[in-house]
Amino acid sequence: MDTRFCENCGGKTEYTVSDRQSSETIRGINFSYTEEYAICGVCGEPVYVPEIHDANIDRIEAAYRKAAGLISVGEIRNIMDKYAIAANPLSKVLEFGEVTIARYLAGQTPSKANSNKLLEISASATKMDEYLLKAQGSITDVAFRKCKEAVDCHKTFSDNPNKIEAVAQYLINQLTEVTPLALQKLLYISQSFYAVLNPGTFMFDDDCQAWARGPVYPDVYYKYHEYGYNPIDSTKECFDRPEAKLSLKELEVLDQVIKTFGRFSGTVLERITHLEDPWILARGHLQPTDRSQNIISKASITEYFSKVVSEYDIATAKDIEKYCTAMYMRV
């Protein structure tokens, strides 16, 4: 076993390491974390071990960032790898100070605004593309080209890349009040029922991610997230007849989802999706508040909602009411 000087014993002794739950308050945010501590094997008194102390500091920092909703150093490195961009040009692309990203990588805690911007591009290659094109003249041609190639590889390509936007716009227009949270869940539910009522097809190509508050389509989320917990203002958005981009079968499903699930708040819809296998399986062993970009696969959606169709005898879009009523009773 390792040895360390014990002040109580007056010499080097062997020690054991245990862990315990501790709590801290930083900048008004309370959080708990697991810390390790060393105990002298002779007298049972605490022993100072520098390596354990340093590791606990890192645990406190990680727990605070998680509680405050701030991006981690590892997530920033993943962004740089994902988009093939170094710290300096990434700072310029996001309009930060030139050495800001380097400081974050060294351990400096980012501001909430900067953290949100980083989380935004982490989740959405489309958003990263917007920032990159805007900053083209501020980074080298080589850095721009490498990053652009990586961004394009991560963007979703389809015959109609704006289809999900049309669906979202239709939902917003038809509902008098819909928050960004509720919109995400209604998109997911519409996509799921359309897929099983029209086997082999999906309403749109975009994949959703298993976020802490349920299924989320990142590009749509970041388009409307400024509304927070407030309803999206359809008059402010000035949509141009999204129904023109939708088929009669798609409108049939959407209208029934609006009539049934559209009655509920975003929080109720979130609770419903938390009871469903696709989100649960995609989350895996993550903690309830952990961030995640795990994809809810279309295969898992099809498998689960095919069982729903069978169990609740759903033959047409009008039958969606049966599942809606049953799930509402469970939450």
Q: Which residues on adjacent β-strands are paired with residue 196?
A: none
Q: Tell me, what's the pLDDT at 157?
A: 44
By CB neighbour count within 10 A (0-12 exposed, 13-18 middle, 19+ buried), where does 228 fall?
Answer: exposed
- The phi, psi pair for 81, rounded to 5°, reads -70, -45
Tokens 């047409």 locate to 316
Q: Where are the domains of the chain?
A: 3-68, 73-154, 163-330
* In contact, 118 and 110? CB cutoff 8 Å: yes
The whole-model pTM stands at 0.68
pLDDT in tens, the chain (331 residues): 689 999 999 999 999 999 999 999 988 888 889 999 999 999 999 999 999 999 998 889 888 887 888 888 888 998 999 899 999 999 999 999 999 999 999 989 899 899 989 988 988 888 899 999 999 999 999 999 999 998 988 775 444 557 999 999 999 999 989 999 999 999 999 999 999 999 989 999 999 999 999 999 998 998 898 899 999 987 776 666 788 788 899 999 999 999 999 999 999 999 999 999 999 999 999 988 888 889 999 999 999 999 999 999 999 999 999 999 999 999 9
Q: Taking the CA of residue 215 as centre, how many other CA atoms within 13 Å lie in the half-sphere pointing to its CB?
A: 31
If one looks up domain 3-68 in CATH, what number appears? 3.10.20
Query: 3-state DSSP call for residue 304?
Result: helix
pLDDT at 235: 73
Looking at the DSSP bridge assignments, the partners of residue 32 are 23
